[in-house]
Homo-oligomer: A and B are copies of this chain.
Amino acid sequence: MYAAVIHAARDLRLDERPNPSPGPGEVLVRFGAGGICGSDLSYWGKGRVGDFALREPLVLGHEVSGEIEALGEGVSGLAVGARVAVNPSRPCLGCDYCRAGRSNLCRNMRFFGSAAMFPHVQGGFAERFTCRADQAVPVPADMPFATAALAEPLSVALHGLRRAGDLLGKRVLVAGAGPIGMLIAIAVRHAGASFVAVTDLVDEPLALARAAGADETVNVGTAPERLAAFEADKGFFDVGFEATGAPPALVSLVRCVRPGGRVVQLGMMPPGEVGVPVNMLMAQEIDLVGAFRFAEEFATAVDWLANGRIDVSPVLSAQVSMGSLSEAFELAADRRRAIKVHLYF
């Protein structure tokens, strides 16, 4: 079978790999669709994600869906042929974080397509792959594979919402109209927010955000004064989401969020320390909290997608064949043309 393997920065190949077979408690999944994520793009562009550099070839991909092709020993409750969204997160379930309900912080996490451990945990951009049975979450048979693959980034967005706390009637500012920022903007509206604004440096995704229901969008490159206006009177927003990874966006969120508000950091910042207006956090009692991956939100993401609770079409930009792997990554990296690109075999 074939898999999309990154060997080094800019060296992404469709390699032949042996067919896997499921161990006890695992299932074998035939690939349906796979979304290209920012971390896939980072491995492709720089050969690393943050501190984690490639040390061996790595099958990319952690936003995947497919069909169950075989069940390992002892698996029950799942059927061959079932369409599934694949949860790329495999926490150990036994460490103190797992036991405390924060399995996204698991000490022994095995996450699809990641160089955080060595040997690396291989990802899901492969014709066939295995996962623990609880990672394969059934979806309706008629759900498009690309939609099912969105369960993963939607889980990230929902986890960000959970970290933000009560959103009922809140004013929300989302920095960054990439896939995560866009899904957050869509989701907070469905979680009771009263006013949603989105910022970015690129007009095209902002237009999509507006179409997706944002009350206001601001291009902070061309009209920074429109965002600065929200800093008046100690800040306008109750909640801010940082989904760009750019330090100035974080500073701006802290300034635009009002006393007693909350800023959720989702974006990966440059390594080291980043300037934060800490006295503002102190004197205005603003919470700056991190959000990392997700835990039980995956089930909610599948539910929302299965029942059409939100319209995710603004995020589904394009589907490209594995045969055009480089074109797919080029497209995914072009923020004017795509929010989220899905691969298929």
**Which A residues have a C-beta under 8 Å from some C-beta of B?**
50, 93-94, 96-105, 134, 158, 161-163, 166-169, 187, 190-192, 194-195, 247, 250-251, 259-260, 265-269, 271-292, 295-297, 299-300, 303-304, 307, 309
- Residue of A251, A283, A286, A295 with highest tally of chain B CB at under 10 A: A283
Asked if residues A158 and B168 are in contact (CB atoms below 8 Å), the reply is yes
- Nearest chain B residue, comparing its CB with the CB of A259: B105
- Residue of A99, A269, A275 with highest tally of chain B CB at under 10 A: A99
- Nearest chain B residue, comparing its CB with the CB of A92: B93
Given contacts A192-B191, A309-B194, contact A278 B285 (CB under 8 A): no
- Nearest chain B residue, comparing its CB with the CB of A101: B101
CB neighbours (8 Å) of A309 from chain B are: 194
Given contacts A190-B192, A192-B191, contact A278 B259 (CB under 8 A): no
Interface secondary structure of A, over-half rule:
mixed
Asked if residues B158 and A105 are in contact (CB atoms below 8 Å), the reply is no
- Nearest chain B residue, comparing its CB with the CB of A162: B168
* 10 A–B contacts, CB within 8 A, in A order: A93-B98, A96-B296, A102-B260, A104-B285, A158-B169, A169-B297, A265-B278, A285-B289, A285-B291, A287-B289
Shortest C-beta distance, A213 to chain B (Å), equals 10
Asked if residues B284 and A292 are in contact (CB atoms below 8 Å), the reply is yes
Asked if residues B97 and A99 are in contact (CB atoms below 8 Å), the reply is no
Shortest C-beta distance, A75 to chain B (Å), equals 13
- Nearest chain B residue, comparing its CB with the CB of A251: B273
CB neighbours (8 Å) of A289 from chain B are: 281, 285-289
CB neighbours (8 Å) of A163 from chain B are: 285
Shortest C-beta distance, A293 to chain B (Å), equals 9
CA A97 – CA B98 in complex, angstroms? 11
Asked if residues A279 and B268 are in contact (CB atoms below 8 Å), the reply is yes
Asked if residues A101 and B100 are in contact (CB atoms below 8 Å), the reply is yes
Asked if residues A283 and B290 are in contact (CB atoms below 8 Å), the reply is yes
Other-chain contact of A276, B105, B134, B167, B274 (Cβ < 8 Å): B274
CA A260 – CA B260 in complex, angstroms? 20
Given contacts A93-B94, A100-B101, contact A277 B272 (CB under 8 A): yes
CA A285 – CA B191 in complex, angstroms? 22
- Nearest chain B residue, comparing its CB with the CB of A96: B296
Other-chain contact of A266, B98, B161, B282 (Cβ < 8 Å): B282
Asked if residues B279 and A271 are in contact (CB atoms below 8 Å), the reply is yes
CB neighbours (8 Å) of A187 from chain B are: 192
CB neighbours (8 Å) of A285 from chain B are: 102, 104-105, 163, 289-292
Asked if residues A279 and B50 are in contact (CB atoms below 8 Å), the reply is yes
CB neighbours (8 Å) of A97 from chain B are: 259-260
Shortest C-beta distance, A255 to chain B (Å), equals 11
Asked if residues B290 and A267 are in contact (CB atoms below 8 Å), the reply is no
CB neighbours (8 Å) of A259 from chain B are: 97, 102, 105
CB neighbours (8 Å) of A283 from chain B are: 50, 290, 292
- Nearest chain B residue, comparing its CB with the CB of A91: B99
Asked if residues A103 and B93 are in contact (CB atoms below 8 Å), the reply is no
Asked if residues B290 and A268 are in contact (CB atoms below 8 Å), the reply is no
- Nearest chain B residue, comparing its CB with the CB of A299: B169
- Nearest chain B residue, comparing its CB with the CB of A215: B307
